[in-house]
């Protein structure tokens, strides 16, 4: 059966349970993202202030017909001076929505949204060298492996090495079915 296309939309008050679950349950956001319990009161405050969308970061819900599958996020990364910036993206699908082929299309839609609405040249993402599912999903979304960043994330008592991926505006546009 063909997997329905995920739609990205802003977070509403009715979606905050997803962020609460991901703040409290290690696997709700994925063990590769778990860095301890998070401040859900702070998330609620930020939601009230700016709906979790600012000029430097954002969060959207991944919606499928059965319900909310998870969230995608982005934040600004600068290389040298603020003007030399790009986006770094992330994804957290709820366990019950993993393994259905949603991760690639959801991240592809986030990249399309960011290239459509902001003038950046580059979108990047990193993932643990052991997170094979995310590596496949990023490749499906059009990303290219750039290299390895050693001992970059602390998880389960030790420093972990990540793969860094990116996609550039022109190469994404060349592969974009809308163009
Ligand atoms: C990582 C994630 C985005 C992948 O999305 P997904 O929709 O679950 O993944 P898919 O169903 O498209 O599977 C992706 C591929 O990985 C493969 N795969 C899945 N788990 C795997 C594993 N443990 N080992 C090897 N391959 C695996 C699948 O077979 C599929 O391969 P294919 O592209 O050749 O068909 C999603 O599982 C998720 O949100 N996980 C928790 C959070 C997380 O890890 N986020 C990324 C952190 S940086």
Cα–Cα nearest to 109, from 89, 79, 131:
89
Model confidence at 2, pLDDT cuts 50, 70, 90, reads low
What per-residue confidence (pLDDT) applies to 3? 63
Is 5 strand, coil or helix? coil
Please give the model's pTM, rounded to 2 decimal places.
0.95
Is 42 strand, coil or helix? helix
Cα–Cα dist 61/68, whole Å: 7
What per-residue confidence (pLDDT) applies to 15? 98
pLDDT digits (tens, 9 = 90+) for 76-134: 999 999 999 999 999 999 999 999 999 999 999 999 999 999 999 999 999 999 999 99
CB 92 within 8 A of CB 22: yes
Residue 163 Cα to ligand 1 midpoint, Å, equals 15
Cα–Cα nearest to 131, from 98, 105, 109:
98
> Can you give the residue ranges of every domain in the chain?
7-175
31 lines ligand 1 (CB under 6 A): no
What per-residue confidence (pLDDT) applies to 177? 73
108 lines ligand 1 (CB under 6 A): no
Our CA angle for 111, 122, 129, nearest 5°, is 80
Cα–Cα dist 119/108, whole Å: 17
Cα–Cα dist 63/69, whole Å: 6
* Burial status of residue 172 (CB atoms within 10 A of its CB: 0-12, 13-18, 19 or more): buried
CB 85 within 8 A of CB 78: yes
Cα–Cα dist 144/103, whole Å: 16
Cα–Cα dist 90/73, whole Å: 5
133 lines ligand 1 (CB under 6 A): yes
Cα–Cα dist 94/92, whole Å: 6
pLDDT digits (tens, 9 = 90+) for 135-171: 999 999 999 999 999 999 999 999 999 999 999 999 9
Write down the CATH superfamily of domain 7-175: Gcn5-related N-acetyltransferase (GNAT) (3.40.630.30)
135 lines ligand 1 (CB under 6 A): no
């Amino acid at each position: 059966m063909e997997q329905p296309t995920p739609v990205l939309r802003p977070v509403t008050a009715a979606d905050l349970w997803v962020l609460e679950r991901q703040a409290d349950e290690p696997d709700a956001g994925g063990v590769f993202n778990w860095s301890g319990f998070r401040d859900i009161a702070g998330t609620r405050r930020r939601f009230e202030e700016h709906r979790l969308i600012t000029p430097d970061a954002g969060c959207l819900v991944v919606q499928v017909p059965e319900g909310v599958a998870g969230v995608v996020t982005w934040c600004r990364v600068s290389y040298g001076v603020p003007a030399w910036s790009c986006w770094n993206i992330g994804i957290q699908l709820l366990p019950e929505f993993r393994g259905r082929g949603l991760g690639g299309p959801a991240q592809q839609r986030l990249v399309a949204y960011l290239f459509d609405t902001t003038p950046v040249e580059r979108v990047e993402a990193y993932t643990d060298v052991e997170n094979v599912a995310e590596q496949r999903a990023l490749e499906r979304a059009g990303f290219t492996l750039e290299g390895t960043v050693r001992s970059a994330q602390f998880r389960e008592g030790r420093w972990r090495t990540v793969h860094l991926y990116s996609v550039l505006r022109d190469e994404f546009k060349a592969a974009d079915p809308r163009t």
